[in-house]
Structure 1
């Protein structure tokens, strides 16, 4: 009896996850076709073939969909990037992270423009979640700089978060230029940020 109940629970969980993914993918399509502001939750429910009540169970509003995109898609990209970091050379480590993130945005440039534009100015609980995720990312970047300084790759740093925010500004510059281009050329944008890194945080060792 317990086994059958567990199997039923597993099937329900899988079905919920499939529905959630279907809603997200449908939202991405509609955001590209109509824009974020003009897409309604009713349109979204109709497009993915679920009831409005089912849609609201998964996502109470459109900002929640943007948060999900960052938590699930960007979160997975970042987890993989940090897991596969080069062992040393802060510049190579940061360019490795940039390459993975930019690669994600480059795959669907039109959608990425919508996601980035809307997420930057999210307010309320959704905005707080994105802000928390951003700060967690910057803390990891700060730790990379601390480790690099301890390895004597770069000069000692006084404030890791300040340095991480400096990197964040370079990252946003590369992302903005890439998204504005007719084609997001990942290698070119990573190289551009790499030049800024060499200028502001030169390596002490080769």
Structure 2
């Protein structure tokens, strides 16, 4: 049993080393410029070893991103200040998510471009993660109905979807610059979130 555990730990460490090499090399050379041979050399393994862990370069790219973004997005929701208002919660989530992109801009520029057009298994996994995040944000909106902060006729899921759209637009805009300006993107998106939270009709909802 101990030998199996040791083997699994070694396998996980090799996988992690390959993913770290992918993050570094793709940040330097871009997705197209990073070859499997180069990735193997950077990770200190053979090309065949990479093939044992990942089906192809796209799978390697997406796996490194998916594991990161899953952990970051869940942390963003779970650490949002419970005693703050809903605007402060949204701002915290934005700052946490954009902070990750700010630290890994070059790598993530390649990832996001490829992930936007993912299909098959990876599309299903990305869609599943997005629905999970939307559901958790929606729960926070719904919880604010009991305090009177959010109107009872408002759909928490619809608010979450609108805010996700604003987040995605800010993300793409940020990645289009040489440096992802985390604070600037947070401020810009929060201005739009304020429109959602405040509404635009002078007389209230129709």
TM-score range, shorter chain: 0.7 to 0.9
Q: Which runs of 5+ in 2 are unaligned?
A: 200-206
**Quick check: 72-81 or 46-55, which moved more?**
46-55
Cα distance, 1:157 vs structure 2: 4.3
**Hey, what's the Cα distance between the residues in 2 that align with 1:64 and 1:180?**
24
Report 1:160-199 matches (<5 A): 160-199=156-195
**Hey, what's the Cα distance between the residues in 2 that align with 1:56 and 1:182?**
33
Report 1:98-117 matches (<5 A): 98-117=94-113
1:23 counterpart residue number: 18
Runs of 4+ residues deviating >6 angstroms: none
Q: Paired residues, what number?
A: 198
Cα distance, 1:34 vs structure 2: 3.1
Cα distance, 1:19 vs structure 2: 0.8
1:59 counterpart residue number: 54
Q: Which runs of 5+ in 1 are unaligned?
A: none
Q: How does the TM-score come out when normalised to structure 1? A: 0.85
Instruction: Indicate if the aligned counterparts of 2:40 and 2:46 stay in contact, CA closer than 8 A.
Output: yes
1:83 counterpart residue number: 78
Instruction: Indicate if the aligned counterparts of 1:149 and 1:157 stay in contact, CA closer than 8 A.
Output: no
**Hey, what's the Cα distance between the residues in 2 that align with 1:144 and 1:27?**
35
Instruction: Indicate if the aligned counterparts of 1:59 and 1:65 stay in contact, CA closer than 8 A.
Output: yes
- RMSD of aligned alpha carbons: 2.1
2:140 to 144, 151, 156: 144
2:125 counterpart residue number: 129
**Hey, what's the Cα distance between the residues in 2 that align with 1:177 and 1:149?**
33
Q: How does the TM-score come out when normalised to structure 2? A: 0.85
Change (3 A) 1:63 1:130: farther
Cα distance, 1:183 vs structure 2: 2.4
